A and B are shown apart, each in its own frame.
Chain A
Amino acid sequence: MAEMPMLAVDALHAWYGESHILHGVDFTVNEGEVVTLLGRNGAGKTTTMKAIMGLVGRREGSIRYRGTETIALRPDLIARAGIALCPEERGIFASLNVTENLLLPPVVASGGLDLPTIYALFPNLKERSASQGTKLSGGEQQMLAIARILRTGARLLLLDEPTEGLAPVIVQQIGRTIREIKARGFTVLLVEQNFRFAATVADRHYVMEHGKIVDMIPNAALSSNMGKLHEYLGV
């Protein structure tokens, strides 16, 4: 492929204290794609997301964003390069109201969604703008966590299990949101346990096991690889 990938992860190792979690992770994400990381609990999906963002204790290898090496950068500088994380625990701040939560991440580049667009995508957030962030329902908190990284101008969004623990109707809404932001040209790296959901939004799937990428399955080939996938995920 002549085109440079938007994100290229090479031989990525990461540690939490003494425990070695990632053992040489390799994958790429191209601009405009939605790519998932699938795998069982403890395979290293969340750690991969945190390592890209610079939030692990120690990391080695290479993470290039639009060709620039970010392995040695501080988290705030990685964010300023144009990568944004929606963490697994959502990270809604209890001491901030909904609007303050929404406006907290600084704008790092032009091209983010403006507030009217965000409120059109997530009408609940406007209605509840003065509520304390953590008083929202789980689904609303997830919407807020996604919404607040859409306005910063970051073009690569790392969404860590956005559907975890949510009712099916909310999961569908999040699916619509991800397709909508893909249509707007955002690139998404998605961690999922639920590959049926992942299949409705993604272009390609990477499968992780024991801190490594073990397979890559294009979404079109998903049905023919069902057997293999069941084995990987143990479902």
Chain B
Amino acid sequence: MFTIFGIPGPLLFGQLLLGLINGAFYAMLSLGLAVIFGLLNIINFAHGALFMMGAFVAWMLLNYAGIGYWWALLLAPLIVGAFGLVLERTLISRLYKLDHLYGLLLTFGLALVIEGLFRNEYGSSGMPYQIPSALQGATNLGFMFLPNYRGWVVVAALVVCLATWLLIEKTKLGAMLRAATENAPLVQAFGVNVPRMVTLTYAGGVALAALAGVLAAPIYSVNPNMGSSFINTVFAVVVIGGMGSIIGSVLTGFGLGIIEGLTKVFYPEASATVVFVVMAIVLLTRPAGLFGKAA
């Protein structure tokens, strides 16, 4: 068996892969948060709960309706996105003229309510979700065995992040979104229905969280707390990457996942805090975040 810095290779690569997987989820979740924060100026504390809902909807589709993973990948984001649409129209849209703090309180409360409802119904021990048959098994990469499903999650996350980036940076719709992020009243005065755009953006960010939830279902057990265990790190990612920066969220998400994984190998005691150490260093040296525009 070969070693790197005295660490057995398979252990190192195993943790790197785990870091990459976590990073994939950090990236997808912080991406949605960044888009929502950019346009709505709301820090969506319900994001973790909506990620969890995505996983649960996939589980329900399978167990109540016999609808499998591949359809869930499409349907769960649509269902949870529609739920987000209703949330924005009925609750969040009332807060735009108030202080940021109200948006934070509302979405934090929503997260608690949603998680509580699921805990009440399904308990907190978690339920298994089978890896789809096409992605079972593992591939020998020579230096390690890669479980196929985990490889798929990394690839899928990269594709989702790239597609979102292209949509926002390279299309007409994205240009409108960027313009509205800068100066929403002027964009509306040009004839764009900005309130509708805001609603759809929130729904889109939420759908992205739900998609991540479906991808996560076979890896982590489907349980009401799966969102809150991620969300603290995801907020750190958003802060480090720079509030509202798309590229920042993606790169920081994957980067921090890997840093976390490596810390588990070399100094396991620090693995839970390393993200926050990085955050403190970044905030001290670049208060706007690595990719943020200085205010």
**Residue positions of A touching B, CB distance < 8 A:** 53-55, 74-76, 78-80, 84-85, 87, 91, 93-96, 100, 103-106, 108, 149, 152
Question: Do B179 and A54 touch across chains, with their CB atoms under 8 A apart?
Answer: no
Q: A55–B184 Cα gap in the complex (Å)?
A: 11
User: Which 3 A-B pairs have CB atoms at the shortest separation, nearest pair first?
Assistant: A79-B191, A105-B190, A95-B178
- Chain A interface SS verdict (over half): loop
Question: Do B181 and A95 touch across chains, with their CB atoms under 8 A apart?
Answer: yes
- Chain B interface SS verdict (over half): helix
Neighbouring B residues of A79 by C-beta, 8 Å: 188-191
Q: A80–B176 Cα gap in the complex (Å)?
A: 16
Whole-angstrom distance from the CB of A132 to the nearest CB of chain B?
12
Neighbouring B residues of A84 by C-beta, 8 Å: 190
Whole-angstrom distance from the CB of B183 to the nearest CB of chain A?
6
CB within 8 Å for A152 and B183 given contacts A96-B175, A100-B175, A104-B176? no
Whole-angstrom distance from the CB of A92 to the nearest CB of chain B?
10
Q: A10–B183 Cα gap in the complex (Å)?
A: 29
B259 at the A/B interface (Cβ < 8 Å)?
no
Neighbouring B residues of A95 by C-beta, 8 Å: 178-179, 181-182
CB within 8 Å for A103 and B179 given contacts A79-B191, A84-B190? no
Question: Do A55 and B185 touch across chains, with their CB atoms under 8 A apart?
Answer: yes
Q: Select from chain A the residue with minimum beta-carbon distance to B171.
A: A100
Q: A95–B178 Cα gap in the complex (Å)?
A: 6
Q: Select from chain B the residue with minimum beta-carbon distance to A85.
A: B189
Question: Do B192 and A94 touch across chains, with their CB atoms under 8 A apart?
Answer: no
Question: Do B191 and A54 touch across chains, with their CB atoms under 8 A apart?
Answer: no
Q: Select from chain B the residue with minimum beta-carbon distance to A77.
A: B191
Candidates A55, A78, A93, A108; contact of B179 at CB < 8 Å? A93
Neighbouring A residues of B188 by C-beta, 8 Å: 74-76, 79
B120 at the A/B interface (Cβ < 8 Å)?
no
Q: A149–B188 Cα gap in the complex (Å)?
A: 13
Q: A94–B190 Cα gap in the complex (Å)?
A: 17
Question: Do B189 and A106 touch across chains, with their CB atoms under 8 A apart?
Answer: no
Q: Render B141-177 as a binary contact track against A, CB cut-off 8 A, 1 for contact.
A: 0000000000000000000000000000000100110
